[in-house]
Amino acid sequence: MRSRQELAQARRIVVKVGTSTVTHSTGKLNLEQIEKIVRQLADLANRGHEVLLVTSGAVGAGMGRLGLQQKPQTIPEKQACAAVGQGLLLHMYEKMFAEYGQIVAQVLLTRDDLAIENRHINAANALEALLRSGAIPIINENDTVAVDEIRVGDNDTLSALVASLVHSDVLVLLTDIDGLYTANPRQDPEAQLITYVDEITPDITAMAAGAGSKLGTGGMTTKLQAASIAADAGAAMVIARSSLPNVLRKIMAGEPVGTFFAAKASRKTTPEVNAEANA
């Protein structure tokens, strides 16, 4: 897809929501925001789109339940938070999607599931089977068991790899910023939103700065990496603010929301999974 006007024709959609979207600054789940996202995803499914959700928030949710005030620094601490938080997160999604008549399925992945050929094929087949059955896969990295050697590293990259894995038409990254700016809008009041990116050039890459929130792992750099993976796989990508009312409906209607990244004309069949880039 090369233009926003084509988005309405998308059959398969991968939507990624970040930690700052699904949790409060305390680390506890933002139930109101999750419900809004769930309702929009359910509506897309009702309209005949195939929907996959890549969600952050397990570590943040675990922090809230365990009473931690700061993001854990060691791998065992992160794994403990993920183990507690993943169940909380899925339970909430399952409950909310059920209210709209949708079935969900939990899928936890590591880098090896995407990089090793037989596991890559198995993961793709499992997701295809879920979509054929009418279920909405809810995907996260398996943080409870993943160590540096088998981590993707951030869910921006994971969502792009999933979009490639299932041959998605479009990837939507919902975050706490409106899109790609010419400079960091939190620091530069003159920063301008870029609404369309035809190709990720060195100049575009240079505009990305800083890391994410204190709860998340990604920043604009990882989002541009995701856009590059998606574009290579033939999928368009949109970055938009999750709190914008009816943001998914507006995006899929082709409205000028966020930043649109055009897909490349030719599709790569297997993306390269680069662990070092996401460490």
Q: Please enumerate, by residue number, every residue annotated as part of a binding site for ATP.
A: 16, 175-176, 217-223
Q: Which residues are annotated as a binding site?
A: 16, 56, 143, 155, 175-176, 217-223
With contact defined as beta carbons under 8 Å apart, do 242 and 56 qualify?
no
Q: Which residues are annotated as a binding site for substrate?
A: 56, 143, 155
What gap in Å lies between CA 205 and CA 138, rounded to an integer?
Answer: 30
Q: What is the Cβ-side half-sphere exposure of residue 208, based on CA atoms within 13 angstroms? A: 17
With contact defined as beta carbons under 8 Å apart, do 223 and 261 qualify?
no
